[in-house]
Amino acid sequence: MRRLRNVKIVATLGPASETYETIRALHEAGADTFRLNMSHGTHEEIKEKHKIIRQVEEDLSSPIAILADLQGPKLRVGVFANDEGEDLVEGEKFRLDLDDTAGDINRVNLPHPEIFEALKPGAHLLVNDGKIRLRVEDCGKDFADCIVVTGGRISNRKGVNVPDVVLPLAALSVKDKKDLEFVAELGVDWLALSFVQRPADVLEARELVRGRASVLSKIEKPTAVENFDEILEVSDGIMVARGDLGVELPVQNVPPIQKRLVRKCRRAAKPVIVATQMLESMIESPMPTRAEVSDVATAIYEGADAIMLSAESAAGDYPIEAVTTMNNVAVEVESDQTYREVIEASRTSKGEEVADAIVAAAREIAETTEVSAICCFSQSGTTALKVARERPRVPIIAMTSRLNTGRRLALTWGTTCVITPELDRFKSCVVASVGAAKRLEMATDKDQVVVTAGLPFNMPGTTNIVRVAPCDERLILATEPE
């Protein structure tokens, strides 16, 4: 399915979007990737959504990426004797401890000894998405005496963030490991890791995944920002998860971090998703706010590969309208001349491999001659990722004989994936490219396309050919060497 935009749209599935009819409508409205949130739903429910997505994919002959998002370690306080909770007052004292008796106005259980092991006086604890802020005055192996910096209502099992220290927590809980094995066997394309702090967290997941899915790291902790270069190196993709990031860091820090991480991902030719609260008001309203539209537009101007809907499509009243709005904003932004100026001004230096030179040449040819599309043959997807890094002005057609590669590329900027049989001659590659460009209405007989491929054929990492080919198949058959 051809899109009239380059940025991809990720839609989270949930109670508002779990039927065949809705999932198909979401894809037709613009969703390229579907996110399965492993924090909600049983394995049977996840399996059913996966089955429906694959049915939509087959019915529409359109590769769709499925992203399974692992829950990660969830840190929460215990329960209170008063089910409605307690109101903490600024300047008052409050204790967190390992005592599992019900809490009161003075204390509550925090059933995470690993937090107490890492805490130091002066560290901050954030409760209920940062609405309550506590500063540690004194602490030990089973307690933390705090001062209430920002007060508010604290109630049963509210989440806790610890922004100031690296917690001795594995990124994968026991539940996460079970979920990982389940979705990897099920056949998802991307696996998102929550609360990554260090490269070792990603490497642990990669070892368990064993190549069955691409691994995407969610950046939502200050320590992940500090270790980002090393995390990016061992990840296949990145999600800038601004929700928790905006809780653990001052909110004004998030926009420049977002911009910086997006550029680093583009330089590394790895997909990056900008996520969280992009069209939050559309959970209950058929129209977004102007600020939300500007937020979506900013991520597109920055060159993000994908933008994501969470509760808007999973539990909102207007899931299809939310996807349609995101699609319309993307089409409008990408038709703006300023968009091209920003994208081209932020183009990074070329890599050092032959494939880097080939894709850079393909982009330059496409922008200086009358070329309608760049068609790249890519078995592993690496060449298509490098072409996307160039952010060319013409469409990118990713040709591959591997369905799983085509699916994973559904998260990559500007790519339209076409599944082909395995080809063993360059002339066949050219013919297949021209046929795909014309079927997708990206070219006519009078046009030309750029074709990149590699010899020997069907081997990852061998891109070494760039060719400008006519779209008139009679000319191809008459002039193209075998």
* Catalytic annotation present for 76: yes
Six-digit token string for 356:
């880097």
* Catalytic annotation present for 276: yes
What residue has token string 């990206």?
A: 442
Q: Which residue among the candidates 12, 33, 276, 412 is catalytic per the annotation?
A: 276
* Catalytic annotation present for 35: yes
* Catalytic annotation present for 178: no
Q: Which residue among the candidates 5, 8, 24, 35 is catalytic per the annotation?
A: 35
SS3 of 386-451: the string is HHHHCCCCCCEEEEECCHHHHHHHHHCCCEEEEECCCCCCHHHHHHHHHHHHHHCCCCCCCCEEEE
Q: Do the beta carbons of residue 86 and residue 154 sit within 8 Å? A: yes
CA 363 and chain centroid, separation:
25
Q: Which residue among the candidates 95, 107, 218, 221 is catalytic per the annotation?
A: 218
Q: Do the beta carbons of residue 254 and residue 277 sit within 8 Å? A: no
What residue has token string 């905006």?
A: 246
Q: Which residue among the candidates 47, 54, 74, 76 is catalytic per the annotation?
A: 76
What residue has token string 């992009």?
A: 278
What residue has token string 């500063």?
A: 135
Report, as residue numbers or ranges, the catalytic residues: 35, 76, 218, 276
